[in-house]
Amino acid sequence: IFLGLGGLSVSNLLNGQGETHVVLYMRLLNLLLGLPMALILIPRFGVVGLIATLIVSPRLGLIYGLYWIWRRYGFTVDFKSSAKIYLSAAAAFLGVELLLRFTALTPWMSLLLGAAVYIPLYLILTVLLRVLDEGDLRNLRRMVRALGPLSTLFTPLLSLLEALSALVYPD
């Protein structure tokens, strides 16, 4: 969830712009929140406390970094697109979850079937919700062509996505 809000890119952006002091402050905020959380939660809840600390503590620094970028550079996360992406992912997950709940497959078969259903469903939903446009699909087609013989596996899905895109984005 936090990756869509810049969890991996905020520090890289700031470091690339030479704003390493901001990244230092972000890390200090992580430490100031994470250390007390760890001292309180880990002895009491064990591994669950550790996981909670690792999930929650970096968020304060992320919020600071996003705020700093917004104030300095004037841009922020596209919350509307992020919400559409999350909605697509959640709907695809629910579809796969319902499918797998009513099948008695081995774990490996469940994994393969889940991936085979999730990926196309997610991509279809991103086109229908107007997250992916025709330019994105052209880029995907170029990337798929680079796969060589494996590209034939993805060509039908890309053709379907392009047809849906033509319906969603009429000229």
DSSP string, 58-104: HHHHHHHHHHHHHHHHS----HHHHHHHHHHHHHHHHHHHHHHHT--
DSSP 129-146: TTSS-HHHHHHHHHHHHT
What are the pLDDT tens digits along the chain (171 aa)? 566 677 778 889 999 999 999 999 999 999 999 999 999 999 999 999 999 999 999 989 999 999 999 999 998 888 888 889 999 999 999 999 999 999 888 999 999 999 999 999 999 999 999 888 888 888 988 999 899 898 888 889 899 888 888 888 776
Q: Is 59 within 8 Å of 52 (Cβ atoms)?
A: no
d(CA 69, CA 10): 8
Phi, psi of 72 (to 5 degrees): -80, -45
